[in-house]
């Protein structure tokens, strides 16, 4: 078999594996298989690319491989699961920058015309704005940049004007590719727009932003495929871009919001009502009380949130799950689409603790079960359990689908304090007669509950 045949076969197999990977990753039971298929597909794509006749020297590639491995391997092994959203944002940033730099190199080397020049403009525009936008998202997730929306007068007008200027410069480049002096201005507009795009977006919208940036990076890669005449890049980029866009739509529906509202609405601003959170009485209980209540339950629904991720409490939840199921208690986990800071954040953390996949239920499938639940245990979740989304038309989250935690017979909430969530509003759930608060670090509180429950002999 010739090198050309091996190259073509590797690309074909890689494309098929990418498609199967996306399909398998859509279900928890086949997610591991999907990740493995994607990894093998990427390996085949790299091998096939290295066999192309255009590769004239492997020295630079080998050096880049060593540098990338030196960064990527420690990043994968040392980064905690709570920082996966930040790492994902960085991946989007680096991938988009690679696409933008390749487009830049192609422009200055060949100065193409027509369709290819249009693809370069599209690729570099999305690549540069995704690069800086992803870095801003990383900064907000890491709290290097304030997580609250940073809003100033006429912000949306300025942003749209800047984007319009970038598009106009790009159109001029398509019409007159020889005007090389215009390209740095075009790139600068795109880079600045990426920063300003994320500044007014609050922490509550980060799951949608992560998915949207993923879509942009994928579309940039697809455009790069047209520039380089690489069909595998077109396929992989289109899969990435379309799946990210669909995921963004799912996230917006989960919050009952539109793209324009996410990008320009500054949803994450702290509301004045939150300042009065401490003035209303709540019922506080001890881990001993919580263990006694759980011991008498028949159905317990656990609702994980970002507080669980911060406290790294998923392993304590597994211990609690084991104790309760050994006593014949039915335990289920309710997952809201935007719980945490990225799509699937809770699923990843619970899977890390080896909690069975068939015990993880999406919101639409478990909401009707809350009315039969003896106990709903909320671990660090806030806005996704707030009844104001159903009951208060004046609330900024009104209309957002929530988990029906307030329908359970008894509600227990593990929380560090009465501070509001990302939406910056008070949670009406905490002040209901059926709700009991356990204040403290989620891992420590759950550890005490597990200890007390383990010391209790069920009759």
Show which residues are catalytic.
383
Cα separation, 303 vs 380, in Å, equals 8
Are 302 and 367 within 8 A, CB to CB?
Answer: no
Cα separation, 238 vs 61, in Å, equals 26
Which pair of structure tokens corresponds to residue 129? 């704005």
Cα separation, 6 vs 278, in Å, equals 67
Cα separation, 446 vs 441, in Å, equals 9
Residues in the chain: 459
Q: What are the CA-CA distances from residue 132 to residues 24, 95, 212 (Å)?
A: 31, 12, 14
Cα separation, 398 vs 177, in Å, equals 49
Q: What are the CA-CA distances from residue 282 to residues 285, 287, 305, 388, 395 (Å)?
A: 10, 16, 20, 17, 21
Closest CA to 302 of 366, 364, 398, 354: 366
Q: What is the DSSP annotation of 72-96?
A: HHHHHHHS-GGGHHHHHHHHHHHHH
Neighbours of 437 (CB within 10 A): 19
Are 90 and 134 within 8 A, CB to CB?
Answer: yes
């Amino acid at each position: 078999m010739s090198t050309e045949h091996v190259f073509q076969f590797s690309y074909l197999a890689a494309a098929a594996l990418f498609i199967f990977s996306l399909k398998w990753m859509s279900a928890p039971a086949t997610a591991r298989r999907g990740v493995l298929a994607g990894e093998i597909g990427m390996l085949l794509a790299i091998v096939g690319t290295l066999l192309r006749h255009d590769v004239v020297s492997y020295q630079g590639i080998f050096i880049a491989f060593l540098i990338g491995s030196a960064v990527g391997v420690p990043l994968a092994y040392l980064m905690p699961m709570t920082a996966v959203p930040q790492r994902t944002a960085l991946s989007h940033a680096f991938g988009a920058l690679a696409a933008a730099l390749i487009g830049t190199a192609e422009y200055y080397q060949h100065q193409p015309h027509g369709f290819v020049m249009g693809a370069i403009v599209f690729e570099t525009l999305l690549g540069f704005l995704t690069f800086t936008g992803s870095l801003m998202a990383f900064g907000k997730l890491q709290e290097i940049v304030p997580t609250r929306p940073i809003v100033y007068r006429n912000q949306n007008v300025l942003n749209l004007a800047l984007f319009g200027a970038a598009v106009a410069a790009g159109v001029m480049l398509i019409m007159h590719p020889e005007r090389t002096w215009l390209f740095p201005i075009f790139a600068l507009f795109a880079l600045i727009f990426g920063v300003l795009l994320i500044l007014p977006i609050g922490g509550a919208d980060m799951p949608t932003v992560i998915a949207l940036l993923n879509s942009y990076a994928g579309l940039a890669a697809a455009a790069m495929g047209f520039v380089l005449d690489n069909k595998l890049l077109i396929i992989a980029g289109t899969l990435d871009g379309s799946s990210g866009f669909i995921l963004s739509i799912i996230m917006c529906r989960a919050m009952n919001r539109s793209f324009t509202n996410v990008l320009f609405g500054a949803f994450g601003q702290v509301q004045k009502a939150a300042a009065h959170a401490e003035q209303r009485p709540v019922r506080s209980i001890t881990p001993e009380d919580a263990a006694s209540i759980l011991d008498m339950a028949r159905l317990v629904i656990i609702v994980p949130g970002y507080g669980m991720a911060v406290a790294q409490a998923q392993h304590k939840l597994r211990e609690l799950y084991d104790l309760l199921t050994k006593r014949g208690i039915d335990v289920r986990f309710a997952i809201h689409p935007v719980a945490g800071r990225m799509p699937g954040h809770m699923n990843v953390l619970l899977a890390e603790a080896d909690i069975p996949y068939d015990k993880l239920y999406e919101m639409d499938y478990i909401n009707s079960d809350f009315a039969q639940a003896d106990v709903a245990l909320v671990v660090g979740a806030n806005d996704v359990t707030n009844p104001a989304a159903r009951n208060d038309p004046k609330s900024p989250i009104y209309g957002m689908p929530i988990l029906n935690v307030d329908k359970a017979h008894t509600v227990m909430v593990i929380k560090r304090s009465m501070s509001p969530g990302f939406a910056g509003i008070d949670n009406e759930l905490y002040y209901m007669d059926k709700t009991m608060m356990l204040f403290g670090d989620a891992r420590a509180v759950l550890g005490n509950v597990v200890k007390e429950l383990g010391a209790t002999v069920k009759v």
